[in-house]
Structure 1
Amino acid sequence: MTGVPEPPENHPDRLRWNERYRAHDGGFEPHPLSSAAAVEGLPEGPVLELACGRSGSALALAAKGRMVVAVDVSDVAMADLRKRAQDKGVAELVHCVLADASEYRPADDFALVLATRYWDPSAFTIAVGAVKPGGLLGWEALAVPGEHEGALPPWHIRHGDLAALVPEGWTVLAEELIRQGHRRFSRVLARKAGPP
């Protein structure tokens, strides 16, 4: 599924996310983007979720019979997701890949490529290229208002930029700015041209 080596144990993102997952038991709630994608309709085929963490979306999609490739840099999150998939009886459908999402190179085309609360321009480009004709891309990233001036904080994007980055020939189905407390998230759902 990938030629990307496992991130080293001292990889800064691996260390940071492992610490975070060890400190907090997270829920396994599906993300609203995965639910929205299901409503829009998906072609046949597998799902790829980048920077998935403890993904309720992967579990929900697998429960509906989808094969899901779940990619994350945290071995703690991957172990938790594997265990939860086993407990839910969908372990054969959830394939956990320990990798930095920005370095992962999928070998297949996917009906849905999903990334939530994550931003990396190279990963976005790879994700766009991994969507099969008629498939969907769902992406959510930390956001600043569109009128924000100056340098962006790490892992942030200006609201509106996700939709602007969707290639020609795609249809943006939804774009939202979500406010949760002091944080903002830019969210886009787009369909690649072609028969579903």
Structure 2
Amino acid sequence: MDFIVALPKTDAGFDAIMVVVDRLTKRDHFLPTTTVASTMETAKLYRDRVFALHGLPEEILSDRDSKFTSVLWTSLCEMLGTHQKLTTAFRQQANGVTERVNQTIENYLRAFSNSNSNDWDELLALSEFAYNARHQASIQMAPFEADLGFIPATPASWKSLDQSSEPAARAAQAQGEEFLEGQKDI
């Protein structure tokens, strides 16, 4: 686990991303948050957006952010039977997988965010999906395949919406298709 910080503040007030990488399947979660989020808020975000989908991990590898070195987080890991492993301070390569993912997320967001960069939080779900649907050389398949056994349907695989469909739905489909097409170039 790691944070991407010092991002432009979005209209919703987010200025950071919590990045969670499953080291076995390479499936990732990109969670909008704030740099001032408390350890409790971070734990709740993890509970609601990661644990709820995957259950408890045997081990968590994280950087030495104060949220992960706090008494609350350490006690929580101990109570849940999760071994906490902290990377060496100031050695980004110690958590190389997550650092590479962070670079990829930043590239996605730069490519698709508006000129003010205040909408990146709205792009995270699509970025996460695109990343998890993309073939990873290290596991010879996409993270979705490793985790779920298949790659979920994409907007490109949706049947064309008929003319009576809502304009917003057609616009959403077009935006999704444009996003997925653009991520191929990154």
Q: Which has the higher strand share?
A: 1
Same fold (TM over 0.5): no
TM-score by length of 1: 0.34
Q: Which has the higher helix share?
A: 2
* Greater C-alpha Rg: 2
